[in-house]
Chain A
Amino acid sequence: MADSTLPIGSAIDLTPPSEVYGTWLELVNSWVTTVDHKKIGLMYIGYAAIFLLVGGFEAILLRIQLAVPHNNFLSPEVFNRLFTMHGTTMVFLMGMPLVIGFANYLVPLMIGARDMSFPRMNAFSFWMTALGGLMLYYSFIGGVGLQGAGSAPDVTWWAYAPLTERAFSRGHSTDYWALSLIVSGFGTIGAAVNIIATTICMRCKGMTMFRMPLLAWLYLVVSGMILVTISPLTAAQIMLCIDRYLGGHFFDSQAGGAPVVWAHFFWIFGHPEVYVLVLPAFAIANEVIPVFSRKAIFGYPAMVSASAGIGVISLSVWAHHMFTVGMTSAQNAFFVLSTGLVGVPTGIKIFNWIATMWGGKIRFATPMLFCSAFLIQFLFAGLTGIMLSTAPWNWQLHNSYFVIAHFHYVLVGAIVFCFFGGFYYWYPKMIGKMLNERLGKWHFWLFFLGFHLCFDLMHIPGLLGMPRSIYTYEPGRGWDTLNFIVSMGGIIQGIATAIFVYNLVYSYFKGEEAGPDPWDAWTLEWATSSPPPEYNFATEPVVMSRRPLWDLKHPEDPDYRYE
C-alpha cells in the first residue's frame, strides 16, 4: 500500500521531519507553546477524543439505569446531571473541537498553505476551548458552592428558562455551565474567523475557489455558520449571566420576562449547530468516497452550492424544535416548510455521493466502510427528521424517545461514523503509521451492530409514549425488552470504541509505515511526508485542477484538460 515513490516534482518536500527528542519537559513545552496548525489540530482532536470517552461513559451509565424498569443504579439527581453533562460534553467538548481539529490540521495542507492565517490566535482559540471544558468539569467539585446545593449542572443541555434562574437553580453549577459555554464559544468563533481568513487568503498559486478540495469549501461554509450561530448562544448566555449575577429579568417571568425568548435564542443557535457538526462529516465523506471509488467527485459545483444552500436554509428552521410552545398557524407552516426545504440540498448531496460510487472501483477499506454506513444512516435520519418536522406528528412525539433516536441517528450515525472514517483515512498522514485494518474492521462491524441495536430500536419506545429525560419507568408498558436491547447496543458501541482506542495506541507503536500517500489520493496533503514537516511545503505548490496529485501522477491525462 505504502508508496514512497510519488511522481512529485521538486516543488514538494519529501524529507522526513528531523525528529528531535528532548527531555520530557521540553516535549510538553513544545506542545503547550506551539502555534503550528498541525500540532494544534492534533491537540483539538486529542481533546475531543478524551471527551468522547467521557461523554460515552456518561451515556453508558444512563443506559444502565434505563436497562430495566424501577432501577436504582443512579439517583434521579445524578441522572439529571449525567444527561446534562452528556449532552453538553458531546456537543461542545467533543463535537466542536473534533470539527475544528480536523479543519486545523487539513485545511492549510489541502490549500497548499504553510499555516493558518493567524497562528497565535489559533493557539489562543484552542486554549480557550480547553479552558471551557475544564470549567464545565470542575463544576463536579466547584458547583457545590457556599450554600452546599447542587453539583454538576442538571438543567439539561438546552437549559430552558426559568429553570436556570437563581430561584430554581441554586449553587454555582449553572454558572459553570453558562461560563464554560461562553469561554469555549469565544474559542470557536476565533477558530471560525481563522478558517475563513485562511481559506480566502492563503490559497497556493492556481488554487482558485472552484479548485479547492470540497473539504475546504465545506469548512468555509461551516465557519460562516459558526459566526452567526455560536454568537447568538454567547449573547443568550450573557443574558443568563446578567439574570443570575446582576438580578436582571431577561427570562424572569415574575418581572415580565419571557422564558420562550430563551427557547428561541437557544434554538437559533441549536439547529444550525447540527449543520455545523454535520457539514464537516459531509466534508470527510467528500474526500473519502471519491478516493475509495477511484473516481472524481460527481457534481462538484452542485456539492458546493448544496452546502452553501444548507448553510443558508438551516438558519431559518430553528422553531421546529418548538412546535409545542404554541405558535400561530402561519409560524408553524413556515417552519414546517423551511425544514422540508433543507432536505432538498441534502438530497442532492446524497445523490452525488451515490453517483460518485456508481461504476467506481470501490475499495472497502475501513474509512470507506464508515462512509458507506453513513450514507444509509443519514438517509434514515433525514426521513425521521421529515416526520418530526411535520407539526402534528411533532405534537404527538415531542420530547419522546423518538426524538432522541432521531437526533442520535444524525449525531452518531452520520457525524461519529464519518469522523471515525476520517480517523482511519488521515491517521496515516498525522502519525505516519497505518491504523490496523483488522482491528478497524472489528471496530466498524461492532460499532455498526451496536449502533443499530441501540438507535433503531430506540424509536419504538418513543412511538409507544416513552418520554425523554426520565430516570426510570414502570414495568409492563411494552418498553422493557426494547430498553434492555437498546442498553446492550450502547454497551456494544462502548466496546467498539475501546477497540478503536486500542487501535490508535497499538498502531502508534506497531503500525505499518504509511509513507506519504498510502491511499493513492489526489489532494495536496498527500504530497507531503507523513507526518508533514512543520513548514508543510518546502516551496509553494502550484495547482492546475481540483486533483493536483492526479495531474502529477498522470501527466498524460491531467484533469485540467477537462475542467
Chain B
Amino acid sequence: MSSTAIPLGHHKEWVLPYHGTVAMLALIVAETAIFSIFVVAYIYYIGKSISGPQPRDVLELPIFNTVCLLSSSFTIWLAEHSLKKGAMGAFRLWWALTVVLGSIFLGGTGLEWNKLIYHDGLTISTNLFGTTYYSLVGLHASHVIIGLTMLSLVLIFSLAGKLKSEHAKQLGVLSLYWHFVDGVWVVVFTVVYIIGR
C-alpha cells in the first residue's frame, strides 16, 4: 500500500456468507412465489368446477407417500452430518436412502395419476379441478424430479469415490433445495388433500 492508502489491520477477519447458500435461498424465494400463485389459483377454484369428477369423489390421502418424502428430509440431514464427520459409508447409505424415498414418492404420484386418468377419467382438460390439480401437483413433482436427478448424480460421484468431506458446503446447498421441495409438499398436501377435499 502507498502512503496515502487506507490503514490496514483495523479489520477483523473478513468473512462473508457462502454464495451458494445465498443463491439457493434467493432461488427458493422465487420458487415460493411461483408455488404461491399456483396454490392461490387452486384455493380460488375449489368447488368451482362445473362438471365432475369432484375432489372428494376421486382423491385418496397419500399418507405413505407423504411419510416417505418427509422422512427423506431427515435422511438427507443424517447424510450431511455423516459427510461432515467423514464417515463415507454412512453418508452413502443415508444418501441412497434419500434417493429411494424420493423415488417412492414419485412412483406413488405416478400410480395415483394412473388411477385418476384411467380409472376416474380425470385429465388436465376434464374440468377446473383437473386443471388446477395436475398443474399444482405436477409442478411439485417436476421439482422432485429435478431434485432426484441431482441427488442421484451426487450418489454416482460418491460411489465413484470423487466425493470428499470438503464438499459438504456444496451438498448443503442441494439439501437446502430438497428441504424446500419437502416443505412445499406440506403446503400442497394441506391444500389439495385436506382443504380441497
Query: CB of A449 within 8 A of chain B?
Result: no
How far apart sit A184 and B33, CA to CA, in the bound complex (Å)? 17
- Contact status A206-B6, CB under 8 Å: yes
- Contact status A10-B2, CB under 8 Å: yes
How far apart sit A246 and B127, CA to CA, in the bound complex (Å)? 12
Q: Nearest chain-B residue to A118 (Cβ)?
A: B23
Partner of B125 from the list A194, A227, A230, A249 (CB cut-off 8 Å) is A249
Query: CB of B165 within 8 A of chain A?
Result: no
How far apart sit A542 and B11, CA to CA, in the bound complex (Å)? 10
Residues 39-74 of B, flagged 1 when their CB comes within 8 A of A and 0 if not, give 001001100111100000000000000000000000
Q: Which of A87-95, A127-135, A235-243, A371-379 contacts B (4 or more CB under 8 A)?
A: A235-243
- Contact status B29-A544, CB under 8 Å: no
Query: CB of B162 within 8 A of chain A?
Result: no
B residues within 8 A CB of A206? 6, 11, 14
Q: A205-B14, A227-B30, A231-B33 are in contact. Are A239 and B135 (CB under 8 A)?
A: yes
Q: In chain A between 164 and 195, which residues have their CB closer than 8 angstroms to a CB of chain B?
A: 189, 192-194
* Nearest CB in chain A: distance from B152 CB, A: 22
Q: In chain A between 189 and 238, which residues have their CB closer than 8 angstroms to a CB of chain B?
A: 189, 192-194, 196-198, 200-203, 205-206, 223-224, 227-232, 234-236, 238
22 sample A-B contacts, Cβ–Cβ < 8 Å, listed by A number? A9-B5, A10-B1, A118-B19, A189-B27, A194-B23, A196-B26, A197-B19, A201-B17, A223-B26, A224-B26, A230-B30, A231-B30, A236-B37, A239-B135, A249-B131, A255-B49, A256-B45, A256-B49, A257-B48, A542-B5, A543-B6, A552-B4
Q: Nearest chain-A residue to B51 (Cβ)?
A: A255
- Contact status A201-B1, CB under 8 Å: no
A residues within 8 A CB of B127? 249, 255-256
- Contact status B124-A235, CB under 8 Å: no
- Contact status B41-A239, CB under 8 Å: yes
Query: CB of A7 within 8 A of chain B?
Result: yes
Partner of A11 from the list B5, B7, B30 (CB cut-off 8 Å) is B5
Q: How many A-B residue pairs have CB under 8 A?
A: 143
Query: CB of B18 within 8 A of chain A?
Result: yes
Query: CB of B31 within 8 A of chain A?
Result: yes
Query: CB of A517 within 8 A of chain B?
Result: no
Query: CB of A83 within 8 A of chain B?
Result: no
B residues within 8 A CB of A552? 4-6
How far apart sit A551 and B5, CA to CA, in the bound complex (Å)? 8
* Nearest CB in chain B: distance from A219 CB, A: 13
Q: A246-B125, A256-B49 are in contact. Are A189 and B41 (CB under 8 A)?
A: no
Secondary structure dominating the interface of A? helix
- Contact status A231-B45, CB under 8 Å: no
- Contact status B17-A200, CB under 8 Å: yes
Query: CB of A247 within 8 A of chain B?
Result: yes
Query: CB of B195 within 8 A of chain A?
Result: no
Q: Nearest chain-B residue to A196 (Cβ)?
A: B26
- Contact status B26-A542, CB under 8 Å: no
* Nearest CB in chain A: distance from B170 CB, A: 13
Q: Nearest chain-B residue to A234 (Cβ)?
A: B34
Query: CB of A326 within 8 A of chain B?
Result: no
Query: CB of B22 within 8 A of chain A?
Result: yes
* Nearest CB in chain B: distance from A75 CB, A: 35
Query: CB of B38 within 8 A of chain A?
Result: yes
- Contact status B41-A261, CB under 8 Å: yes
How far apart sit A224 and B23, CA to CA, in the bound complex (Å)? 11
Q: Nearest chain-B residue to A205 (Cβ)?
A: B14
- Contact status B29-A247, CB under 8 Å: no
- Contact status A202-B124, CB under 8 Å: no
How far apart sit A256 and B129, CA to CA, in the bound complex (Å)? 10
Q: Nearest chain-A residue to B27 (Cβ)?
A: A193
A residues within 8 A CB of B4? 7, 9, 552, 555
- Contact status A117-B23, CB under 8 Å: yes
- Contact status B6-A551, CB under 8 Å: yes
Lowest 9 CB-CB distances: which A-B pairs, in order? Answer: A247-B125, A9-B2, A231-B33, A9-B5, A235-B37, A201-B19, A248-B131, A227-B30, A197-B23
A residues within 8 A CB of B7? 544
- Contact status B128-A197, CB under 8 Å: no
Q: Nearest chain-A residue to B48 (Cβ)?
A: A256
- Given A235-B33, A255-B128, 12 more pairs with CB closer than 8 A: A117-B19, A117-B22, A197-B26, A200-B16, A200-B22, A201-B17, A206-B6, A246-B125, A249-B131, A257-B45, A542-B6, A548-B6
Residues 76-113 of B, flagged 1 when their CB comes within 8 A of A and 0 if not, give 00000000000000000000000000000000000000
Query: CB of A250 within 8 A of chain B?
Result: yes
Query: CB of A519 within 8 A of chain B?
Result: no
B residues within 8 A CB of A248? 124-125, 131, 135
Q: Nearest chain-A residue to B13 (Cβ)?
A: A205
A residues within 8 A CB of B23? 117-118, 193-194, 196-197
Q: In chain B between 112 and 139, which residues have their CB closer than 8 angstroms to a CB of chain A?
A: 124-125, 127-128, 131-132, 135, 139
Query: CB of A258 within 8 A of chain B?
Result: yes
A residues within 8 A CB of B10? 544
Q: Nearest chain-B residue to A545 (Cβ)?
A: B6
* Nearest CB in chain B: distance from A114 CB, A: 13
